[in-house]
């Protein structure tokens, strides 16, 4: 298949696909288009929603249509000289104590490493925020090192605490609500990803930001955790 691929969505959007695999080169193309698209460059533009390998462009169907939007988007993609948006580095604190990391022993056994080696690998990951989805504030990161990648569990676990740091395949996220998950729970963070009504920003990260995890002990976690 030749990329990009343009797919009409309902009567008000176009999905632009740049690839199939999660990697930075493909995501750079997503970010590059996200940086270029605006009401000035695409008539009727309303919203852009970037994801791992694609970006959804919403438009006003009373003003324009799929064909016109696709033509404008192709023109933006073909334009040279625009670098992908540069994100900020965000620091996320994480505690790996046993009751915060119930799956850490299982991950260690499955990948043939000690628990401390799994922690070291996780801390060394090169993480970027690729998209938001599934639940409020769920920022999907990619960059989990190959050495500790595992597929999702065969069955989800219910009532996983907010702030849990979970991994599956190349992906990692910090949960923001008490919810079920089939990902591997390897720690917990006091860092608030979802802003619950204070300030102008609803979430900590922007798509394209990089994330660095910093290890803390239980005392530091308790001191930072929001009641």
| Domain-located, residue 36 | yes
- Residue 208 gets which letter from DSSP? T
Q: For 175-191, what is each residue's pLDDT tens digit?
A: 999 999 999 999 999 99
In a domain, 183, yes or no: yes
pLDDT in tens, 189-217: 999 998 765 567 788 999 999 999 999 99
Range of the domain at 50: 5-78
Q: What is the DSSP letter of 87?
A: P
What's the CA gap between 168 and 183, in Å, rounded?
A: 5
Which pLDDT tens digit goes with each residue over 36-78?
999 999 999 999 999 999 999 999 999 999 999 999 999 999 9
Q: DSSP letter string over 64-86?
A: --HHHHHHHHHHHHH--S-PPPP
Q: What CATH number corresponds to the domain at position 22?
A: 3.30.1360.40
CA distances, 136 to each of 168, 194, 207 (Å): 19, 7, 14
Following DSSP, what letter does each residue of 115-156 receive, concatenated?
HHHHHHHHHT--EEEEEE-SSTT-EEEE---GGG--PPPSS-
CATH value at residue 99: 2.40.100.10
């Amino acid at each position: 298949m030749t990329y990009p691929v343009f797919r009409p969505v309902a009567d008000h959007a176009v999905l632009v696909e740049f690839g199939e695999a999660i990697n930075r080169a493909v995501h750079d193309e997503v970010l590059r288009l996200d940086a270029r698209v605006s009401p000035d460059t695409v008539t009727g533009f309303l919203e852009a929603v970037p994801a791992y390998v694609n970006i959804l462009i919403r438009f006003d169907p009373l003003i324009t249509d799929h064909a016109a939007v696709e033509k404008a988007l192709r023109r933006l993609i073909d334009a040279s000289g625009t670098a992908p948006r540069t994100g900020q580095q965000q620091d996320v604190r994480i505690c790996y104590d046993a009751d915060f990391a119930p799956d850490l022993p299982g991950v260690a056994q499955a990948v043939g490493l000690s628990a401390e080696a799994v922690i070291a690998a996780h801390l060394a990951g090169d993480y970027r925020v690729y998209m938001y989805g599934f639940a409020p504030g769920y920022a999907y990161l990619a960059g989990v090192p190959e050495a500790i990648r595992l597929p999702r569990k065969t069955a989800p676990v219910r009532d996983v605490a907010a702030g849990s740091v979970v991994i599956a395949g190349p992906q990692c996220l910090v949960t923001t609500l008490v919810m079920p998950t089939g990902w591997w729970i390897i720690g917990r963070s006091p860092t608030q990803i979802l802003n619950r009504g204070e300030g102008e920003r609803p979430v900590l990260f922007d798509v394209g930001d990089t994330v660095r995890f910093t290890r803390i002990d239980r005392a530091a976690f308790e001191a930072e955790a929001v009641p």
